[in-house]
Structure 1
């Protein structure tokens, strides 16, 4: 099989496409013929050796994918050869095949194609966990989304609207903000040309934002937090800007505000039942026609550098996908 291989930590340009043998199938695993895989910002960090987890070298990156089961381990129940499934292998998804523990599989809803399904797990699971378990987002509250046109930002807009929030999308260009309005944002802020703190205060009649969703970090974190409402919740998703900001602790004191870390993978490992319940609810939203996963950028495996660049250069509008189908 062809696979995208990381032989040493460094820039994504040093990754190579190589022929690799799949490992022998364990009794609890299925062999999955991958049709598409989701590309996420942590994948770039992992390849660079800057993620919380550093796999042994060499390794195949990629944490989520969708495909067709081609072989079953002896202990696998509930799945059959030929089933279309969504998988969360954690690693090795940027390849034509992967062996996956059957507990990390979900049946693909018939409403989704492989491209949509491949990008469903990590971003939607992150945002849903952030809103449901951590922020406990309530109907009628105001939600501010930074980096709103990116992969996780799009899911935050969609899920925020489904949960009844008023969504203010923040991004760096009018083009991105137009896209945010198309997918449901109620208000938009261009933080390249507008004062973020002042505009959030204006759009909330001085009250401030109840929940702020921040996958960007960098220069806008403090300005955003200064606009938070009394008792507001600030969700730390990641640091796509590259810089990890420092926040004066008098700000949460004065606002009685919370700063909540969102490490979905860590929570899912500790509460697998809660995680699968979240996925069940998300898949039901898809089945009911309330949620339509968006994938706006699809690249063949050979164009992996362009796929990564769309994320690391923050040009992507929605989810980025690598396709294994030529």
Structure 2
């Protein structure tokens, strides 16, 4: 009997995307409590790139299979208690493992795939939209009628936050570094657009809000943009820190936070679910319901075949693609 092989995108050294190569290995046998997923697509996220340099807070042991999120079909199960059966379309979420023809998972790493999404779209849904949901709902307490400012609004997390913010009934101000990225925010429903390479965004936000400021800010960018965002937050506003895509952490000026009576809140959506699995499942189910009712979708900037994974990572490093990058896995 011929041994079944799986294809994996393995990172073997911490010197960037060039260290990522495709390798074939035997498909491992499942242990009790595990399921095998035949992957259809997987999406890139900024932490994937950081991990190839060893610069992310999670540092997997070499060699490791890249990929935090994807979508596929349950091919085999050794967990009779899992709410999934062979043939079910599922979302796969983990710290690693998605860029492969097959992934091994436990039930808590899987969610039912929203019915409004194709596999390519579903692959790009979990990380960014769950980050948006945990940020806005679980941590930020965004309410209908409030004003939301989204920095980095053309990126994956930013686009998801604009889309979800509108679905939750907020007025959304989108800020990004180029008109091309702002076009994504506009297509996602943003009410106001700010190019912060051409405009002083705190000044423009104060003009839009008539000096009141915004109730909630989502910042996945960091650096000087985090520092400037405190200049346009409303009294008792919530500043949600969800990343540092600029490569730098912002410096918190506590006098500004005190003067505005605002909260600065760190967001780690994956850790939110790992530390409180019940809350994580509740958030995932609520997000899936909103996605199906409101038609939430990621915007795909470019799709790549699995053997071009290194090229996709380099494109992310150059910021050459607007929107989510997806790897299509040929099964």
Cα deviation, 1:12-67, whole Å, max 9, x if unaligned, reads 12211111223221111111110101211111112211111111111101111111
Query: What is the aligned partner in structure 2 of residue 256 from structure 1?
Result: 261
- Bigger drift between 316-325 and 179-188 goes to 316-325
Q: Distance in 2 between matches of 1:20 and 1:89?
A: 20
Query: What is the aligned partner in structure 2 of residue 174 from structure 1?
Result: 179
Are the counterparts in 2 of residues 116 and 293 from structure 1 also a CA contact under 8 Å? yes
1:51 matched to 2:52? The reply is: no
- Bigger drift between 174-183 and 35-44 goes to 174-183
Query: What is the aligned partner in structure 2 of residue 114 from structure 1?
Result: 119
Query: What is the aligned partner in structure 2 of residue 31 from structure 1?
Result: 36
For 1:219, what is the secondary structure of its paired residue? helix
Q: Distance in 1 between matches of 2:241 and 2:37?
A: 33
1:168-317 aligned at under 5 Å gives the runs: 168-317=173-322
Residues 1:152 and 1:280: Cα distance change in structure 2 (over 3 Å): same
Q: Distance in 1 between matches of 2:156 and 2:299?
A: 9
Q: Which runs of 5+ in 1 are unaligned?
A: none
1:76 deviation in Å?
4.7
1:297 deviation in Å?
2.0
What's the Cα RMSD here?
1.6
Normalised by the length of structure 2, the TM-score is: 0.94
Q: Distance in 2 between matches of 1:141 and 1:56?
A: 44
Query: What is the aligned partner in structure 1 of residue 146 from structure 2?
Result: 141
Normalised by the length of structure 1, the TM-score is: 0.95
Residues 1:192 and 1:74: Cα distance change in structure 2 (over 3 Å): closer
Q: Distance in 2 between matches of 1:141 and 1:289?
A: 19
Q: Distance in 2 between matches of 1:158 and 1:19?
A: 38
Q: Distance in 2 between matches of 1:113 and 1:155?
A: 17
For 2:73, what is the secondary structure of its paired residue? strand
1:265 deviation in Å?
1.4
1:314 deviation in Å?
3.2
Q: Distance in 1 between matches of 2:183 and 2:57?
A: 34
| Equivalent pairs, count | 326
The structure 1 segments of at least 4 consecutive aligned residues displaced by more than 4 Å after TM superposition are none
Q: Which runs of 5+ in 2 are unaligned?
A: 1-5
Residues 1:56 and 1:201: Cα distance change in structure 2 (over 3 Å): same
1:45-84 aligned at under 5 Å gives the runs: 45-73=50-78, 75-84=80-89
Query: What is the aligned partner in structure 1 of residue 3 from structure 2?
Result: none
